[in-house]
Structure 1
Amino acid sequence: VYDGPIPSLLKVNTIPDAPICGGGNLTLTLDGTHREVNYYITKSDFWVGTLQPTSIFPKTSIIPARLCRLALTVNNAAQDPEGFRHVQDMANAEVRSTLPLTDGMLHVRSIALAQKDLVVFEMKAEGSGASVNVRLQADNDNNNFFIIEGVHDDKTVWLRKEHSTHVNVNTAAALRILGGKNVRTTYSDKIEANLSFRVEPGQPATLVFSAKGGKDEYQHLEDAITALDRVDLNTIARLLKEHADWWQNYWLKSWIDITDPAIERYYYGALYVLGCSVDIDSRVAPGLAGAWITHPRPKWGGNYTMNYNGEAPFWSLFSANRGELILPYARFCMDYIPSGRRLAKELKTKGIVMPVMIGPWGVCAHGLNGDALGQKSNATMAALSLIWNYEFYRDRSFLEQYTYPYMSELLDFWEDNLELDDTGRYVIKGAARERDWGDLNPGPTLGSGLSATITQPLLRGSGR
């Protein structure tokens, strides 16, 4: 429960200390006061290229980017904020807000629908009703985007936010009001579109937000508008029921009772973040800074750091009986294979080599092939979730599509990098820990244990 103003999230570059919810493809968080609430919406596959001339990698980079925010202003907000609060409901994956009016209350229920590309804001007023204005805003971080906004009809506004460097990523968002009184749409200088309306007591209003697009997508605005055209109040009732059912089934997959409240909060909190931020049908998983992007430079670059941090958030999925959430991770590992082969060839070895940082779609986070910094274990550490998924679920199709092809590349690498020393042991030479070059069997004990990690699943898989 948040019962006071939430400081601006514009300088927060990781998961915010604020109410959050998400449906996988779209996530939502917020800040502000009872007079103005800013809803920040992120799209999971809205990643962009950028230059990092001052970093230790003086090349190009790819990072998750901010999409837009909805600035909701209550024109007849009370002077006294008594009663103002936000409730983050993890069980139902929604945020419920109470905004005091001069004579009454405005209640806003915000839901990023599970595994959909829609966000719903249900509004109900008490007392004299609420006069509301919503501005659709998008920041042009580092002049890295083409942004234009407009009005589609008397109840719908939209924006396009497009990017082209070494990756082309285009997204459009559209916002429509269903219900409400005195509805007006305006925009100025093609950079800020607005909806204004009244919410009367006993006459709820619903805002519906859609976002479409992605890498090499060019029908994004048409698709966003079409998605809204398919939604009416009856449709929303069905979608909200599907959302509630999805989250009920999600929470029933596992639970713990260990009489340790701190660990239990962490367990359920981590599962909530994963459920909110993983789009099962996507080729993109959330990066290192999480799925709620409110800052132009997410912490640690926001991409996938594959010497531990990029893998670790997904390791709990299997013992928690939520293996389906590994699919976007598996896809971005497979998408990386061509780049991994190029880097291996550059380093005069076989198979694949994974640099420290990668992005989605096989794009290295720094330059064409990236830089492994001498760390030979990255690609193998990335394989652990692919192995565990098969070991937990015995899913033959997953084995054939992801685990076996990826592991075959790793076997080629380790056959070329394990050496027999004078004592009869297989060792790894010329590898490194992070910031510690030239070790023998660096970091975790790799050697024969590492080769067994690869070869045993391959042998089991090949027999099937």
Structure 2
Amino acid sequence: MKPVEWKEKMEKYNGVFQEPPGNVPSDKVVDGPIIGNGDVGVVLSGLPDQQRLWISKVDFWKTKRTYPNGSPCLLGGIDIHIPALADASYYAEQRLNEANVVSTFRGDSTLVTMTTWVSATENALVIELVCEGHAAIPVKVDLWMQPGHESETEFGHDGNVTWGTRKFNGIDLDWPTEGSVAMSCLGSEGNSIELQPGRKAYIIAYVLTNHDVKDYLQESIARVGLIDESRIGSLRSEHDNWWSQFWAKSSIEIGDELLEKFWYGSHYIMACCSRNKAFAPGLFGSWITTDSPAWAGDYHLNYNYQAPWWGVYSSNHIELSEPYDTPLLEYMDNGRRYAEQYLERSGIYYDVGIGPKGFPTVLSTTSASITYENGHLFLGQKSNAALSAVNMLMRYYYSYDLQYASKVAYPFLLEVANFWEHYLKFEGNRYVIYRDAIHEVPTWANSHPNDDWLQEFEDMNPILSLGVIRTVFKGLLDMSKELSLDTERREKWEHILEHISDFPTFERDGKTIFRLTEQGRDWWNDNTLAIQHIWPAGAIGLDSDPKLLEIAKDTITVINRWTDYNGFPTIFTSAARVGYDPEIILRELRRQCVEHSYPNLFIFFGGGGIECCSGVPSAINEMLLQSHEHVIRLFPVWPQETNARFTDLRAVGAFLVSSELSDGNLLYVNINSEKGRTCRIINPWPNREVSVLEADGHQQKEMDWQMSGDIITFHTEAGKCYTLSCKK
């Protein structure tokens, strides 16, 4: 697609604001226009004459122990006062293609346009102001830093640069965090601007912390002092180039602008908050507008932390998952200690919530927590580390990056295996799980009239754990063979896979459906726990036993939880993974996007925040392309009369796939092989003759291939492209 055509296409997906946001500040998801570069996040709020920019950063954490004192915190912001815009109209666009916000304020005799963006390549915030009218407009700019919460703030001036710092460096912290914002109004003395008609004015800020560089304040002052109009032009060129390359990595067209909008919007949000490899975003990304974000804004490991990235792997944006592994690896020493100290097991045992750099965010002083969980909030769950490994396996299977496997994924999975090999009980020719809660056990309570509620500690065979254990041990077997490691352990892993307990079921609403546990909790009305072994765990797919697929579909019907406090990232993709009615999936997905979204393209529910960024991409991707168990299926759960096409979605085996469905006919299949693995694909044209062509420069040659049942198999070479077509 040509650049002009692509820009026109993306304009349809802009976030549009007809009035100022009303949910900023917020302890959860904000509703204002958002921008970011994966490290610095900015959200805009306020009336035209009092615009406020809230500045946060993914590494700006207070690390005081005891829940919920340790969390990401607000750094500061910039206020822009334009008295001439009192009673002006408000309009803003969050433009995905340019990754900026263009605000238009129209008064009686003047029009002011404000364009705001965070450089994709540096921590520079740029605010461009231009007015139309007959007279100059005075503008006053204030830099502020968030006070309180046991922090220290300081302000100063260095020439035309105004700076502010906020510091958490008390003696009771695990580690200090200090941050600075240095700001300058180009061409003006001090922080006042005379905005001349037709002439652009700039406000520049640079944001750094002690985690970026030791002399963060001096560096931010120096960096902002080097920015002039020429440098702004260079930054803008670099910015545009980064985002152009980002959007070129994959695309969809499904004849539904609303769902397309949230598909692209979800990737925009993730690209704006998930690029600092040393610090992953917490529950609410890089738009923190309070010092008390809900649930401490940390990394909640019983799905909330893992969920945001579930769509990036198949969307060919694996680079956005780079920060994901960091806190999990940094917490391994804690996990080993907890497993040994509290459970007398090897391997790793993770709390529900963790933070960066091994920081435990959920330590508790309540009597119940001390009595039952040694002052932690494990909440009865043993599955957190295993569920965290699922994302690593997604990345591995979609990329077959053996260096990543050997350095990151495999060592982590080994520790998970070390735990479960010894935690599982082998009874009656099967492996059984005891004392593993399917849902959070509220040990934060100080007292309770009786201990009946503690029965969840006695949950036997929780369905999520049964699913992730299957996935983890299968992944270990695959990786160990690819890496030629731990041959002597494979027999045990295979034995676990062959003898792990079946998924529990029971009768409900006249159907056989999945039960949450074999003994213990049977059902939970307000959560989609009964299908998370399907997605994200990946233990069931279209190639599973037909009876199992029927149970899965009936479970989704009985759950009827399309609208759910916590289920948005799981229910739709689970439905697609097992072949549920695509018309219902699309209808309900569309409804959620309408009823539970903000103009900034955040989808929100009661729990979590950026976790919802995976809901639309992962569901749509699975409807268009599935590759579960290394077999590519094209448009497997898609209404065949609905035209659709996609470019460079990623399939298991490190394949980039493009295809199009038009008027019920599949027109073409293009497959780019990154690692030269054997390709297996369900025949797109049953009962018709198929050709497989390899592109070699400008030449094409026909490939040999084999057919077994309805699966076409052919060998590939790394870096080469293959086209499947139906012979006439």
TM-score over 0.5 (shorter chain): yes
Aligned pair count reads: 439
**385-394 vs 212-221, greater mean Cα deviation:** 212-221
| Cα offsets for 1:116-147 (capped at 9, x unmatched) | 211111111222232111111122243x2110
Q: Which structure ranks higher in relative contact order (CA pairs < 8 Å, sequence separation ≥ 6)?
A: 1
Counterpart AA for 2:74: R
| Cα offsets for 1:139-169 (capped at 9, x unmatched) | 2243x2110111111x210001000222210
Equivalence map 1:145-160=2 (5 Å) = 145-153=151-159, 155-160=160-165
CA separation of 1:358 and 1:213: change in aligned 2, threshold 3 A:
same
Equivalence map 1:411-426=2 (5 Å) = 411-422=417-428, 424-426=429-431
Q: Identity percentage over the alignment?
A: 28
Partner of 1:110: 116
- How far off its partner does 1:230 sit? 3.3
State the alpha-carbon separation in 1 of the partners of residues 144 and 154 from structure 2: 10
Q: In structure 1, the residue corresponding to 2:390 is in which secondary structure?
A: helix
Correspondence 1:345 to 2:353 = no
- How far off its partner does 1:460 sit? 3.1
**Conservation of the 8 A alpha-carbon contact between 1:414 and 1:451:** no
State the alpha-carbon separation in 1 of the partners of residues 472 and 41 from structure 2: 39
Correspondence 1:65 to 2:85 = no
Q: In structure 2, the residue corresponding to 1:430 is in which secondary structure?
A: coil
- Please, which of 274, 281, 287 is the counterpart of residue 278 of structure 1? 274
Q: In structure 2, the residue corresponding to 1:158 is in which secondary structure?
A: strand
- How far off its partner does 1:300 sit? 2.2
CA separation of 1:45 and 1:457: change in aligned 2, threshold 3 A:
farther
**306-315 vs 296-305, greater mean Cα deviation:** 296-305
**Conservation of the 8 A alpha-carbon contact between 2:130 and 2:200:** yes
Partner of 1:167: 175
Equivalence map 1:47-446=2 (5 Å) = 47-50=61-64, 59=67, 61-77=69-85, 79-82=86-89, 84-101=90-107, 103-127=109-133, 128-142=135-149, 144-153=150-159, 155-164=160-169, 165-179=173-187, 183-185=188-190, 195-215=191-211, 218-279=214-275, 281-347=276-342, 348-367=344-363, 370-422=376-428, 424-434=429-439, 435=441, 436-444=456-464, 446=466
TM score, norm. by length of structure 2: 0.58
CA separation of 1:354 and 1:365: change in aligned 2, threshold 3 A:
same
**Conservation of the 8 A alpha-carbon contact between 2:184 and 2:225:** no
Partner of 1:27: 41
**Conservation of the 8 A alpha-carbon contact between 2:153 and 2:165:** yes
**Conservation of the 8 A alpha-carbon contact between 1:44 and 1:285:** yes
Correspondence 1:41 to 2:55 = yes
- How far off its partner does 1:428 sit? 1.7
| Cα offsets for 1:73-107 (capped at 9, x unmatched) | 01332x5424x311111121100112335632221
- How far off its partner does 1:441 sit? 1.7
For structure 2, the residue ranges without an aligned partner over 5 or more in a row are 1-15, 365-374, 442-455, 486-728
**395-404 vs 354-363, greater mean Cα deviation:** 395-404
- How far off its partner does 1:214 sit? 3.8
- How far off its partner does 1:273 sit? 0.8
- How far off its partner does 1:238 sit? 1.2
Counterpart AA for 2:146: D
- How far off its partner does 1:397 sit? 2.3
State the alpha-carbon separation in 1 of the partners of residues 62 and 211 from structure 2: 9
CA separation of 1:81 and 1:237: change in aligned 2, threshold 3 A:
same
Q: In structure 2, the residue corresponding to 1:256 is in which secondary structure?
A: strand
**Conservation of the 8 A alpha-carbon contact between 1:358 and 1:370:** no
State the alpha-carbon separation in 2 of the partners of residues 341 and 270 from structure 1: 35
If you compute each CA radius of gyration, which structure gives the higher value, 1 or 2?
2
| Cα offsets for 1:43-70 (capped at 9, x unmatched) | 111011346xxxxxx5564211001111
State the alpha-carbon separation in 2 of the partners of residues 234 and 174 from structure 1: 19
State the alpha-carbon separation in 1 of the partners of residues 482 and 419 from structure 2: 18
- Structure whose residues are more often strand by fraction: 1
State the alpha-carbon separation in 1 of the partners of residues 474 and 63 from structure 2: 35
CA separation of 1:115 and 1:335: change in aligned 2, threshold 3 A:
farther
Q: In structure 1, the residue corresponding to 2:286 is in which secondary structure?
A: coil
Correspondence 1:9 to 2:24 = yes
**Conservation of the 8 A alpha-carbon contact between 1:104 and 1:125:** yes
CA separation of 1:105 and 1:319: change in aligned 2, threshold 3 A:
same
State the alpha-carbon separation in 2 of the partners of residues 445 and 341 from structure 1: 19
Partner of 2:619: none
Q: In structure 1, the residue corresponding to 2:231 is in which secondary structure?
A: helix
State the alpha-carbon separation in 1 of the partners of residues 116 and 380 from structure 2: 46
- Please, which of 481, 501, 506 is the counterpart of residue 460 of structure 1? 481
Q: In structure 2, the residue corresponding to 1:431 is in which secondary structure?
A: coil
| Cα offsets for 1:334-379 (capped at 9, x unmatched) | 1111111121122221111111001111111123994322311110
Partner of 1:54: none
Q: What is the CA RMSD across the aligned residues, in angstroms?
A: 2.1
- How far off its partner does 1:216 sit? 9.2
State the alpha-carbon separation in 2 of the partners of residues 75 and 222 from structure 1: 33
Q: In structure 2, the residue corresponding to 1:324 is in which secondary structure?
A: helix
Q: In structure 1, the residue corresponding to 2:29 is in which secondary structure?
A: coil
State the alpha-carbon separation in 2 of the partners of residues 217 and 441 from structure 1: 48
Partner of 1:188: none
**Conservation of the 8 A alpha-carbon contact between 2:386 and 2:472:** no
Q: In structure 2, the residue corresponding to 1:72 is in which secondary structure?
A: strand
